[in-house]
Amino acid sequence: MIIVDAAGVVHYANRQVVALFGYSLEEVIGQGVEMLLPERFRSRHAAHRDGYMSHMRVRPMGQNLELYGRRRDSSEFPVEISLSPVSDGERPMVVAAIRDVSERHRIQRELVAAKAIAEQARESADLARDIADRANQSKSRFLATASHDLRQPLQALALLNGTLRRTVSDPTVMEALSQQEQAIASMSRLLNALLDISKLESGAVKPEITEFSVARALEEMRREFATLATGKGLSLEIETTRACVRSDPSLVEQVLRNLVSNAIKYTHRGRVALRCTSDGGALVRIEVIDTGIGIPADQITCIYDEFYQVGLTGSGPRDGYGLGLSIVKRIVDLLGLKLEVRSRVGEGSVFSLLLPAADQAVWPEPAQERSMASRGASRGKPRVLLIEDDTAVREATQMLLKIEGYQVTAVDSLSQALAAGRTGTGFDLVLTDYHLGNGETGVQAIAALREMLGTPLKSILVTGDTSGSVHELPSDPNLRITSKPINAERLLGLLREFIELEPAAARR
């Protein structure tokens, strides 16, 4: 603090002036106040001082201006100065309170710099997010395209194989077709596994959590694997259950599908069983049990590694590709579930999937639907409307169905399907691809046909798309969804099972 007169002469200075400016009190008192200012401000300061003396009041000096003090060593520092008028009884004086604001300025500079850095980081994050979003969209488009387009030729091959096996009797040709069927099935499994791995790693799979009946999931396993198990001479045992769980039903079915497939693959005699247990608490346990070769204790930690297979030697033949359990592990982690395994070499394995129990009460069991199967079993082959935009798949499917005695009308678009529906011929079932041309979908075709015909037309949707758009389709008792590639036996079995649920009178 200093006190100066109208001429700018310092009459008083406290000891903090010594610490702030580096002058002794004797060097300051009696001198002009301009000695404490940088030289570039001194000439202008005299005029400002005279102006203040003519209008004295309490106010800050140089408001909205940057003020600087000058030390004895000529160094400068930012200051704030408050002015207050006083009088010694004879003449007006001014008390100037001077504050060093170097630290405040440093903090302000750092805040400005930090703000600039934060803004740059935000812009970089926005850019990175945009790039990531575009990359994810590109991945999703690629995977959707790959899922559909790569499966189409396999679908055609699988159906043509089934057609040929029904039209030839030469043992050599039958053996060739049998080996071809195995090769197609092997390609299909590898393609499905690689696409599943890619979707899980890219983050394209988003769980859709809901409550569902375990019985329905187990029944789907029965439909899919009963023929395969029988073909190996195995018993596929599925216990009834009334349990309900909360998770993503499609992803849980995918886990069970891989576990059951593995169990059948590594079991050469005996059985594969699925059962569900619950102690009435928060968890439901679904177990896949087999009497297969078992897993050595020192290999259990390795079974989820990609391309790892139990008991496979470097020169031995491969049975599959060792991707099923790797996919299972990724899905279980994605859903936040728990998977346990118990195994003894030569005796078999038990894989236990633990899921949160649902709040729902009892769900209808699939057996109630199956009890209707006999009602239409005695009738002839029904009429099928086939909607498929891929020429090779459409022709292969049409040939297979006609050989089996079905009456088939084949079209490639929604407009042609509606035109076929207007003929009045009537159809017992629609078999349609999910992705049609021009952005149309089989779901749209089914809905349009049902609206036009005024009936809940039974429909089978065949798709190579495993994205959320398929998983989000509402529950529909008159709709079955199956994945490509589907072989001839599975497709025909699905048609027989589904159509024969309809009462005979309803198809007259």
What pLDDT, on the 0 to 100 scale, is given for residue 506?
40
Residue type (1 letter), 98: I
The DSSP output letter for 322 is S
- Reply yes or no on domain 2-100 having CATH 3.50.50.60: no
Burial (Cβ within 10 Å: 0-12, 13-18, ≥19) of residue 198: middle
The DSSP output letter for 475 is P
Three-state DSSP class for residue 352: strand
What pLDDT, on the 0 to 100 scale, is given for residue 177?
87
Domain 373-507, what architecture? Answer: 3-Layer(aba) Sandwich (3.40)
Q: How far apart are CA 364 and CA 489, in angstroms?
A: 28
Sheet holding 383-387, edge to edge: 407-411, 383-387, 429-433, 459-463, 479-483
8 A C-beta contact, residue 358 and residue 211: yes
Task: Spell out the per-residue pLDDT of the chain, length 508, in tens.
Answer: 999 998 999 999 999 999 999 999 999 999 999 999 999 988 888 888 888 888 888 888 887 788 999 999 999 999 999 999 998 778 899 999 999 999 998 998 999 999 999 999 888 888 888 887 777 666 666 666 666 677 788 888 888 888 898 888 888 888 888 888 878 877 777 777 777 767 776 666 778 888 999 998 998 888 888 888 988 999 999 998 888 999 988 889 989 988 998 899 889 999 999 999 887 678 999 999 999 998 888 888 888 776 666 655 444 444 555 677 888 888 899 899 999 999 999 899 999 999 999 875 544 444 443 333 333 333 457 899 999 998 988 999 999 999 988 999 999 999 999 999 888 778 889 999 988 888 888 999 999 999 998 888 999 998 876 555 665 667 788 888 888 788 888 888 888 878 765 443 343 3
Structure token pair of residue 71:
């030390």
Q: Single out the residue of 433, 451, 441, 443 nearest to residue 397, CA to CA.
A: 433
3-state helix, strand, coil in the chain (%, to 5): 50, 20, 30
Q: Examine domains 2-100 and 373-507 and report if their fold is the same.
A: no
Three-state DSSP class for residue 343: strand
The DSSP output letter for 486 is -
Any idea where the domains of the chain sit in the sequence? Answer: 2-100, 206-369, 373-507
Q: How far apart are CA 153 and CA 176, in angstroms?
A: 19
Q: Alpha-carbon torsion 429, 435, 436, 438, what sign?
A: positive
Q: What is the DSSP string of 150-195?
A: THHHHHHHHHHHHHHHTT---HHHHHHHHHHHHHHHHHHHHHHHHH
What pLDDT, on the 0 to 100 scale, is given for residue 496?
84
8 A C-beta contact, residue 225 and residue 487: no
pTM: 0.52
Three-state DSSP class for residue 240: coil
Domain 206-369, what architecture? Answer: 2-Layer Sandwich (3.30)
8 A C-beta contact, residue 416 and residue 440: no
Q: What is the four-CA torsion angle of 27, 32, 35, 36, rounded to 10 degrees?
A: 90
Q: How many CB atoms lie within 10 A of CB 374?
A: 10
